Structure 1
């Protein structure tokens, strides 16, 4: 990435490098005009909310391309945006998370050989609290309709039933950042497209010019949906250790032969191969396997790997193992730098304090029999916290917005007599007729969440085969009663006091790590069977599977 190499590139070569591997470019002609006169100025912004994950390698590999093409790159640490996005980052934590992001992003860039001295880091609040900026924000509010503001943030700002006004301001700030950072273009994921179009429409209303916009494809999470900082199982954190990486990859959705809905394969395509080709290198992705299964194979082109996976020449288990090894190799230098710096451990604790251990004397002495006092104490994390019941699916239908999911009406034995709506991603594995009028296990004290516009009010427990090619619902004993609690010998049953587990504390995720189906087909937690008064819970055919 030397200045000499930049000087030898033609305008077309710079443009090709800037735009390679992008999903969409708006304003390409303007970029060409600028490159004919001078280097492009561009910014990429990130809001410091949840911990950065391996999905950040996608924009970072493009930033490496930009620098190689002589682009002047600014990284915006959007602290005000983080708070405005439905308060994902409380104000008292924003400054710590902003510093955490800056240091971790620098470590990430250094790990892939990107010279950070060529980058400019800017904290949003350093100019977004100025009088001029705020007057422009008011001018924008006097021009933009509520409909356009809500539409612009639909793919980015967290959507809730009763949205806060702050979410409507978010797209306007992102548009104004283009002017105040003095750039020619903004770079982001394709999920930002509506905000980019919003900026192109409304900045001229304030007398400011339109900018170009460069968009990366979105990398699916390990569970098949968008990779998210708030979904612990959808992503791998930049500081995860080897065992955590292997565990998460093992649980990842990776159906044999499926190349269209495969988060593992998408990550290999969007991150590992581009990183391997930086600075003119030849990428190498190695699948290790015994000779009886074909022996080791090295791929230097992603298309060849994709073709072999489609034709089932590469097994999902082998792909996951190879991806886990490659990810551990690129995260190793980041973990090493973080561990070697004396202040980074404190920064991590300041940015992401363990809120799950803050309890009150009155509540916890009553509910969890913990040490009395106002100081921080460990909160009990075991299966007694989860309300799992025998339930019955009364009716199941294909989700109107997603053919891979079912929407089911489920009787979980609520005292009110009301049924619950449950969304489950099982349509690719379980025939619709097998979902009708059957008993299942439902987790009933998780916070409701919307999936493709439909609120899911419980979770059905299913078991996945070790290679993730088969999934089936768990079966309670035939004579079990609807609403009957699942018990585990040696653990107290979940309290029926209306408590809903806070998703931020990841209590269910931590407990579910110890769920599995054993070699006898029995569902267990820590090797203790799931039981009802009528017997143990089983899987019909699967053995040694993961419950999810």
Structure 2
């Protein structure tokens, strides 16, 4: 492949892309030398099989002789609505590099000429900071918000950090000294903004290469935050089979079909690399027509559209192909204890689950007598973690003083139940004026067993944070736009089922979990470093940066 002429290199670089901005500039560069480009990724949630879509193009770029830089955008990860807390982002950056190398190796791509750069290594320099200020003096708030509309998490009252994100991505092109930037078509507005504003700083306009967006297994964009839409790169074969069986795959539907999209964007392009013949096999019993081998994606799509291929057969073929793709990645991590340890430090909330997924059953560690794999007592399979708590966004409808206890209030709180508001007793009278509670949006724990306080039964618990000395108390506040009744989530944990387990106060499950609650320096509530999240962003407090949540 190193003997390709400029036209052949251009064809390989641009194949299967949805859009290219600056084709003439790319051709001009290729006529003189190899293209220099970068792809950036923010180390937040765990990479899933959707990452094979950009990896398949990076394989194309390397095969075409491009000088490829992968930017591990650690600061961007934090700026995007604090998706990744600073306490964990350094570990996640290292995990991303390890998993990307394993992915490229699994598809037979040499990585000796691949360059990894961590964003903070240059984004904290005086030169970059000054250019960032210069860019802020050029870009309007409207343009910054518009540019990040499909990339940065959108909320009604956006943080300033999200507005800085697009401009910094534009500056990265100059500081990484590339000819082009590669990304998904969802980043098009950022790319257009970069082409508009970089010349205003005296820097050249770069070309931009855009991949199509691949639907998730549920029929929407594949997402790290939606466990039903993705397959983890370290999922075991049974988990892959189970998730693909549940995937949306309507008979004859070739438009909203994540499985077909993945086959088109990943499996066939990878199959044609390095002079190989692409092939996708659907195995069937002879009575159902026998095996079918496809060497052209469009033939497969046509047969599925015409209902000659059943969804179950398509899923089975995809399962076999995907497990073959993931096998080398699993092996890389299984044989390296340091990589397994890295998963635990980068995503501590799922360490036990990851071990169960990655390590084959015959190598699994047997729990000590009297204990389960989750660390709970003998006879119990339920974890002692935040997944046991049903915490919801709620709103105080009315609040009044407790007639029998001057230190307490009685509130009527809407938590999203069909039966209406709940009565709740909270000991906030010494800390928060009664008037400040009326209509207040808060967080409540909704699956504690009801208890009486001075003759009034309480049916939930209001969550608040206090300083180390317990002299200042502030309510946990959901972001603007979060819906009343929606569940608070923690990345990597299951969310407690509404109407499910009612926690027995004698077991003090809330107390065992709450000792791991805390606040970041950015006032974000977290469990073991994992933010309390809603559909509109993280849960925060007004001013506290340390203390307890109760």
Structure 2 length normalisation: TM-score?
Answer: 0.68
**Secondary structure of the equivalent of 1:75?**
strand
SS in 2 for 1:51: coil
Q: Which residue in 2 is equivalent to 1:504? A: 490
- Alignment CA distance shift 1:170-1:117 (3 Å): same
Measured after TM superposition, the shift of residue 503 of structure 1 is: 2.1
Contact kept, 8 Å, 1:100 with 1:348, in 2: the verdict is yes
Deviation at 1:509, TM superposition (A): 6.4
Match of 2:141 in 1: 146
Asked whether the 8 Å contact 2:390–2:496 carries over to 1, the reply is no
CA distance in 1, matches of 2:83, 2:345: 16
The alpha-carbon deviation at position 284 of structure 1 amounts to: 1.2
Counterpart pick for 1:378 among 365, 384, 388:
384
Aligned to 2:421: 415
CA deviation string 1:292-321 (max 9, x = no partner): 211111111111110110011111111111
The CA deviation at 1:501 is 3.6
DSSP-derived class of the 2:183 partner: strand
Cα offset, 1:385, TM superposition: 5.2
Residue 233 (structure 1) aligned with residue 228 (structure 2): yes
Q: Distance in 2 between matches of 1:508 and 1:79?
A: 26
Q: Is 2:13 the counterpart of 1:13?
A: no
Q: Does the Cα contact within 8 Å between 2:170 and 2:198 map onto a contact in 1? A: yes
Structure 1: how far apart are the matches of 2:39 and 2:162? Answer: 20
Deviation, 1:13, is 0.9
Look up the match of 1:160: 155
SS of the residue corresponding to residue 490 of structure 2 reads helix
Deviation at 1:414, TM superposition (A): 2.5
Match of 1:194 among 158, 165, 189: 189
Q: How does 1:141-290 map to 2 (within 5 A)?
A: 141-290=136-285
Q: Which residue of 1 aligns with 2:533?
A: none
Judged with a 3 Å threshold, the aligned counterparts in structure 2 of structure 1 residues 386 and 143 are, in CA distance, closer, same or farther, namely closer
| Aligned 8 A contact 2:282 2:314 in 1 | yes
Contact between 2:180 and 2:208, CA under 8 Å: does it hold in 1? Answer: yes
3-state SS in 2 of match to 1:264: helix
Report what 1:403 is aligned to: none
Structure 1 residues 386 and 305: alpha-carbon distance in aligned structure 2, compared to 1, 3 A threshold: farther
Q: 1:290 to 1:173 in 2, by over 3 A?
A: same
- 2:413 is aligned to none
Confirm or deny: 8 A CA contact 1:356 1:505 kept in the other structure: no
Question: Kindly tell me: are residues 161 and 330 of structure 1, through their superposed partners in 2, closer, same or farther at Cα, counting changes over 3 Å?
Answer: same
Query: Counterparts in 2 of 1:524-539, with a 5 A limit?
Result: none
Match of 1:70 in 2: 65
Q: In 2 relative to 1, CA 90–281 (structure 1 residues): closer, same or farther, beyond 3 Å?
A: same
**1:347-380: CA deviations, max 9, x gaps?**
10110111899xxxxxxxxxxxx99xxxxx7238
CA contact (8 A) 2:350 2:492 kept: no
Secondary structure in structure 2 of the residue aligned to 1:267 = helix
1:415 Cα deviation (Å)? 3.4
User: What is the SS of the residue equivalent to 2:122?
Assistant: helix
The aligned residue for residue 299 of structure 1 is 294
Structure 2 runs not aligned, ≥5 long: 353-375, 378-382, 393-415, 423-441, 444-458, 464-485, 501-550
Aligned residue-pair number:
393
Distance in 2 of aligned mates of 1:36 and 1:411: 66
Q: What is the deviation of 1:152?
A: 0.4
Residue 526 of structure 2 is matched in structure 1 by none
The structural deviation recorded for 1:506 is 5.8
Structure 1 window deviating more from structure 2 (348-357 vs 62-71): it is 348-357
SS at match of 2:112: helix
Change (3 A) 1:356 1:347: closer
TM-score with structure 1 length normalisation?
0.68
Measured after TM superposition, the shift of residue 163 of structure 1 is 1.3
CA contact (8 A) 2:80 2:162 kept: yes
Question: Where does structure 1 lack aligned partners over 5 or more consecutive residues?
Answer: 358-369, 372-376, 388-409, 417-446, 449-494, 515-548
Matched, 1:48 2:62: no
**Equivalent position of 1:337 in the other structure:** 332
Moved more, 262-271 or 290-299: 290-299
